[in-house]
Amino acid sequence: MPSGGSNSSISSGGGQACSNAEGEDSGSPRPLRRDRVHTISDMNPASRKLHLKSAAAAKKNSMKDVKPGISPSFVFLQLYYLGKLGGNNIEKPVLLPTHLPEMQRAMRVLDLIRPQETHKIGVLYVGRGQHTEQEILRNSFGSLRYMLFLQGLGSVLELSAVSEDEVFLGGLDAKGSDGKHVCIWHDDVMQVVFHVATMMPTKESDPNCNGKKRHIGNNYVTIVYNESGQPYSINTIKGQFNHTTVEVVPGDHSTNSVGVLCRPELADFVGGGGSPRLVSDTNLPILVRQIALHADLASTIWESLNRPPHSPYASNWLERLRKIRKIKQMVTDTEGTPPNLMDFTDMVDADKWEKSRAGGSGYWQQFLA
């Protein structure tokens, strides 16, 4: 039959091909051939690794906007409904009348008090033979050792890329009028900004450098890298708030002399007038930063005691608590609720401290009852 002949021809051809293959390599196994529809497609190991990496990167990018932590509203609801906020009317939360202008102003002032400790410190470079305010402020660069000192003092960031809500700038304009870069340092609870005069623009329209002095002259502490060859005077940069100057005089063999100049009222707190310290270039930024931070904290406390309400500064956390208590006092006084006498922040008030010293231990019985 024709069909049978056709099959015989195919079988015969197949047999001849197999016979030839066996003749060429009798020890090789006979290959199994399948149609495409019976195979399972899978990527090779190298492609699989690339696929896993891209999937992990996509997942990481999708989680960037997710911030960890607990919502303050959730914590408030748990404390409120579980009765953890106390049983009397004074300790229960009150609804603030945010529609009133006075309350809106008080809330804006509270937002200005950051939860971290903040410090702003000026940095000046004094070149060879310079001694006037204008000559010092007009410097746009310094020596190589000065630049290495700045690198160790903090991190240099672009002002345009910094968010003012996250980074404390101490009044610097992020739009470019105060320069393109800023030097900052921070840890878990503190943010420090350095107002570096050489990083601020020197404008021909401002020959007296009032733009630089507007920031540096309003800082309590100024770091002076003095290469003039003569002692620096604390009154060189005139200003109302220049309380302390940390003077760095570079010497031979990578050593530096670090001294502190301050107002007489702060000499006992910042160690002004003592013998200069000798320190290497490597450890210089760490020592100068610590001295400047201690001097700035001492100056802040001294200023708080000499202006109303004469309450000693302790930290931004306590300042925020005082402001929150004052806002609550505004509401409770309006509603006719008696003031809270258990505010522990009053214990650090200067007047009450003098009263406690005069009245003896009986004064504290109202807090221990």
DSSP string, 282-296: TTHHHHHHHHHHHHH
How high is the pLDDT of residue 188? 87
Q: Over pLDDT 70: what percentage of the chain?
A: 68
Count Cβ atoms below 10 Å from residue 12 Cβ, excluding itself.
10
Going by pLDDT thresholds of 50, 70 and 90, the confidence category of residue 49 is low
Q: How many CB atoms lie within 10 A of CB 129?
A: 10
pLDDT band of 60, cuts 50, 70, 90: low
Across the chain, mean pLDDT equals 78
Lowest mean pLDDT among 131-135, 264-268, 291-295: 264-268
142 part of a folded domain:
yes
- pLDDT tops 80 at residue 269: yes
Stretch among 142-146, 151-155, 303-307 having the lowest mean pLDDT: 303-307
231 cis-preceded (ω within 30 degrees of 0):
no
pLDDT of residue 293: 95
pLDDT digits (tens, 9 = 90+) for 300-350: 999 988 888 888 888 888 889 889 888 888 887 765 544 444 444 444 454
Tokens (6 digits) for 160: 């345009």
Question: How much of the chain exceeds pLDDT 90, in percent?
Answer: 36
Cβ distance 233 to 213 under 8 Å? no
CA distances from residue 219 to 82, 278, 291, 333, 352 in whole angstroms, order as listed: 47, 26, 15, 37, 30
Backbone dihedral region for residue 360 (phi beyond 0: left; psi -120 to 50: alpha; all else: beta): left
Q: Give 7 or 290, the one with higher predicted confidence.
A: 290
**Phi first, then psi: what are they for 80, rounded to 5°?**
-70, -50
Q: Predicted confidence band at 4 (pLDDT cuts at 50, 70, 90)?
A: very low
Q: What is the mean pLDDT of residues 251-273?
A: 88
pLDDT at residue 130 tops 80: yes
For residue 220, the 8-state DSSP code is S
Give dist(CA 6, CA 20) in Å, integer.
21
What pLDDT, on a 0 to 100 scale, did the predictor assign at position 30?
62
Give the Cα separation of 95 and 80 in Å (integer): 13
Residue 233 falls inside a structural domain: yes
The answer to whether residues 192 and 178 touch, using CB atoms and an 8 Å cutoff, is: no
Alpha-carbon Rg for the chain in angstroms:
36
Q: pLDDT at residue 212 above 50? A: yes
C-beta of residue 149 within 8 angstroms of C-beta of residue 286: no
Mean pLDDT of 249-264: 93
The segment with the largest mean pLDDT, out of 112-121, 164-173, 285-294, is: 285-294
Query: Does 179 map to a domain?
Result: yes
Tell me what the mean pLDDT of segment 79-88 comes to.
59
Total count of domains within the chain: 1
Q: Residue range 124-150: average pLDDT?
A: 94
Does residue 224 lie within any of the structural domains? yes
Confirm whether 168 is domain-assigned: yes
Q: Which amino acid is at 359?
A: G
| Residue 220 in domain | yes
Helix (H) or strand (E) holding 318: helix 316-335
Alpha-carbon gap, residue 349 to 308, rounded angstroms: 11
Q: Is residue 208 part of a domain?
A: yes
| Strand, coil or helix: 207 | coil
Distance (Å) of CA 232 to CA 125, 130, 150, 277, 286: 11, 10, 19, 16, 22
Highest mean pLDDT among 56-65, 87-96, 241-250, 308-317: 241-250
DSSP annotation of 66 reads -
Length of the chain equals: 369
Q: What is the pLDDT of residues 66-75, one digit of tens each?
A: 566 788 778 7
Q: Is pLDDT at 6 greater than 70 in this prediction?
A: no
**Model pLDDT, residue 78:** 73
185 inside domain: yes
Domain around 212: 117-306
The DSSP bridge pattern shows strands 190-196 and 117-126 to be parallel
User: H helices then E strands: how many in the chain?
Assistant: 12, 8
- Which pLDDT score is estimated for 164? 84
Residue 222 sits in a domain of what CATH number?
A: 3.40.50.11210
> Is residue 171 scored above 80 in pLDDT?
yes
Residue that has been written with the tokens 């004064």 in this structure? 363
